[in-house]
Amino acid sequence: MAKGIVLASGSVHRRELLKNAGVDFTVRPAELDERAVEAPLLGSGATPEDVAQVLAEAKATNVSESHPGEIVIGADQTLALDDRVFHKPANMEEARRTLLSLSGRTHTLNSAVVLVENGTVVWRHVAVARITLRDLDPGFVGRYLAGVGGRALTSVGAYQIEREGVQLMEAIDGDYFTIIGLPILPLLKELRRRGEIDG
Residue-by-residue DSSP string for the chain: -PPPEEE----HHHHHHHHHTT---EE----S-HHHHHGGGTTTT--HHHHHHHHHHHHHHHHHTTSTTSEEEEEEEEEEETTEEE---SSHHHHHHHHHHHTTSEEEEEEEEEEEETTEEEEEEEEEEEEEEPPPPHHHHHHHHHHHGGGGGGSTTS--TTTGGGGGEEEEES-HHHHHT--HHHHHHHHHHTTSS--
More confident residue, 139 or 43: 139
| pLDDT band, very low/low/confident/very high, at 90 (cuts 50, 70, 90) | very high
The confidence score (pLDDT) of residue 43 equals 75
- The sign of the torsion formed by the CA atoms of 135, 79, 174, 22 equals negative
* Residue 32 pLDDT: 86
Q: Is the pLDDT of residue 2 over 70?
A: no
CB 157 within 8 A of CB 141: no
| pLDDT above 90 (res 38) | no
Tell whether the model's pLDDT for residue 1 goes beyond 60. Answer: no
Averaged pLDDT, 122-126: 97
33 is catalytic: no
Instruction: From the candidates 24, 33, 76, 82, give the one annotated as an active-site residue.
Output: 76
Instruction: Say what the pTM is.
Output: 0.90
pLDDT per position as a tens digit, 183-196: 999 999 999 999 99
**Number of C-alpha atoms within 13 angstroms, CB side, residue 121?**
16
Longest C-alpha distance within the chain, in Å? 57
What is the per-residue pLDDT for 11? Answer: 87
Q: Mind listing the domains of the chain with CATH numbers?
A: 5-193 (3.90.950.10)
- pLDDT digits 0-9 by tens, 8-36: 998 888 999 999 999 999 999 998 888 88
Q: Among candidates 76, 85, 44, which has minimal Cα distance to 57?
A: 76
pLDDT band at residue 112, thresholds of 50, 70 and 90? very high
Average pLDDT taken over every residue of the chain: 93
| Lowest pLDDT segment from 127-131, 146-150, 154-158 | 154-158
